[in-house]
Amino acid sequence: MTDPVEIHFKETVLDGLAEVDGQVAVIADEEGKLATGGSRVNTLTRKALGRLLESERWSKMKTGDVAELAFPAAMAASSVLVLKLPRRPTISEARRGGAALAKARGRVPLLVLAGSLKHIADLALGLALRGYDFTPHKSEPEDEHREVTVMCRDPEAVAKEAGPLAAVAEGVFFTRDLVNEPANVLTTDDFAARLAAMHELGLDVEILEEEQLKELKMGALLAVGQGSESPSKVVVMQWKGGGDEAPFALLGKGVVFDTGGISLKPAAGMEDMTMDMGGAGVVAGVMRTLALRKAKANVVGIVGLVENMPSGNAIRPGDVIRSMKGDTVEVINTDAEGRLVLADVLWYAQERFAPQGMIDLATLTGAMIVALGHEKAGVFANDDTLAEQFLAAAEAEDEGAWRMPLGPAYDKLLKSKVADMKNIGGRWGGAITAAQFLQRFVNDDTPWCHLDVAGVAAVKEGTAMAPAGGTGWGVMALNRLIADRFEG
């Protein structure tokens, strides 16, 4: 997998600053007051740094912006990066400041003079997250030296605080790699193998093959994948870090490629459907994070891995299939396949684990993007407490999320003349009727949230914390939810 940048924390030593190769970053507040080491850099640059801080350019810069002084006099460094940040930034400001440094830096070593800045570990997290680059399929990836050194007060304390955040970064990177992989590489077999390899981290990983899924009567999930040569699978990952309590369940849609099936998608943009396993990718990233930081909680992650292809064996519009629960579904549109996968995964999770609660994630509907764009995921829930806890965790981690409605009126749109329900409810309220469909496979006494991540799992343009491509949205929020709800 893509590894986050190596970040080392050291005591501030200004002797030899003139000989440092690569780039040097200094931090100054809105008034132009420099953090520790900034004055030495100003002297070495023959007051060029001071002139920048007194300029109109600096006054117009926003918190978290970075200015660059190229080829500074009397310094070996190729440039000095100047980050505008309050002396006591919020966690969000510190992370975004680190991300801005990552975006501005070159492919050379970076020395950050952080001094006694607050939330240095979070600045380092932002620097790591925005420094992600997916290059395994480039014939000649650019040479780079990615080391980062952060000079600060009490580096041991900062390094201790940064440890769990490094686990988060690795989980996010794991998710981004999965989402960014092309479908000819990330087949259902390959996806399952990558998850099985996390056994080395202490996860119990079990792969359910098609014969086992048939025995379990997962007819909805198997119907989606029956048109593909890639075998359908369900992967169960268990982290047992708590006591004897029932686990919390995270469930993910893992459609490794979605053509739409017989209800074929338009050709334009179909290449983006490599990201239709984004929900399963997030579940995998969270489970990796929990294992790396040795979370004191019991969590099970279950992902349904399928490929939705048109073929002589594919499901057709008008077919009637039977779910693991026993309910029958009239397939109106084969491109509404993610809900069929999750229907069986949801029921399986409850039957086997009787979880304390469940959250499923899926790149489920284009309607969700129409409603919320690429800024927020849609949150649907049958339990106000769980919804509020997740929304609080998402806000704390700067991952946009918005509560959406559920209600009996939407059920009417799913009525079928030939089966217990249809798999779509028509044009209006498409994200809501999809969630309403899923709710039919959730027991009334099981707290449940459905996260429609269609707009946030992958983006065409970079965000504050991620370059274009897979974002890893949800790993940080779900990790925070588990820490606050089960470990707090």
User: Using an 8 Å Cβ cutoff, are 363 and 276 in contact?
Assistant: yes
Length of the chain equals: 488
Q: How far apart are CA 240 and CA 247, in angstroms?
A: 8
Environment class of 29 (CB within 10 Å of its CB; exposed 0-12, middle 13-18, buried 19+):
middle
- Predicted confidence at residue 208, as pLDDT, reads 98
Cα–Cα distance between 245 and 28 in angstroms, integer?
Answer: 49
The pLDDT value given to residue 1: 86
Q: Does domain 7-154 have CATH number 3.40.50.1370?
A: no
- Nearest Cα neighbor of 106 from 82, 81, 125 is 81
Q: Which amino acid is at 40?
A: R
| CA quadruple 9, 12, 18, 23: dihedral, nearest 10 | 30
Between CA 45 and CA 266 the distance in angstroms is 56
Catalytic residue among 84, 176, 288, 339: 339
Q: Are strands 401-403 and 320-322 parallel, antiparallel or unpaired?
A: unpaired
Give the start-to-end residue ranges of the domains of the chain. 7-154, 169-487
SS3 207: strand
User: Can you tell me which residue has the tokens 């684990």?
Assistant: 353
68 membership: H or E segment, kind and range? strand 66-70
Beta strands per DSSP E along 241-381: 248-258, 298-308, 320-322, 328-330, 357-362, 377-381
Point out the catalytic residue in the list 87, 103, 217, 265: 265
Task: Give CA 130 to chain center in angstroms.
Answer: 13
Contacting residues for 379 by C-beta, under 8 A, at least 6 apart: 387, 390, 391, 401, 402, 403, 404, 449, 450, 451
Q: What is the DSSP string of 310-341?
A: -STTS--TT-EEE-TTS-EEE-S-TT--HHHH
Rounded distance between C-alpha atoms, residue 417 and residue 437, angstroms: 16
Where does 156-232 show beta strands of DSSP type E? 204-208
pLDDT of residue 143: 60
Whole-number Å distance between alpha carbons of 134 and 470: 10
d(CA 102, CA 112) in angstroms, rounded, equals 11
C-alpha count within 13 angstroms, C-beta hemisphere, residue 236: 18
The three-class DSSP label of residue 264 is: coil
Tens-binned pLDDT, residue by residue, of the chain (488 aa): 899 999 999 999 999 999 999 999 999 999 999 988 999 999 999 999 999 999 999 999 999 999 999 999 889 999 999 999 998 999 999 999 999 999 999 889 999 999 999 999 999 999 999 999 999 999 876 666 679 999 999 999 999 999 999 999 999 999 999 999 999 999 999 999 999 999 999 999 999 999 999 999 999 999 999 999 999 999 999 999 999 999 999 999 999 999 999 999 999 999 999 999 999 999 999 999 999 999 999 999 999 999 999 999 999 999 999 999 999 999 999 999 999 999 999 999 999 999 999 999 999 999 999 999 999 999 999 999 999 999 999 999 999 999 999 999 999 999 999 999 999 999 899 999 999 999 999 999 999 999 999 999 999 999 999 999 999 999 999 999 999 999 96
**DSSP alpha helix (H) spans, 425-474:** 430-439
Alpha carbons 428 and 130: distance in angstroms, whole number: 37
What is residue 35's predicted lDDT score, i.e. its pLDDT? 84
Distance between CA atoms of 374 and 368, rounded to whole angstroms? Answer: 9
In the beta sheet, which residues pair with residue 252?
A: 303, 361
CA dist., res. 128 & res. 137, Å (int): 21
The pLDDT value recorded for residue 141 is 67
Tokens 């990177």 belong to residue: 173
Q: Is 62 a catalytic residue?
A: no
CATH class of the domain comprising 169-487:
alpha beta
339 among known catalytic residues: yes
Q: Count the neighbouring beta carbons within 10 Å of the beta carbon of residue 381.
A: 24
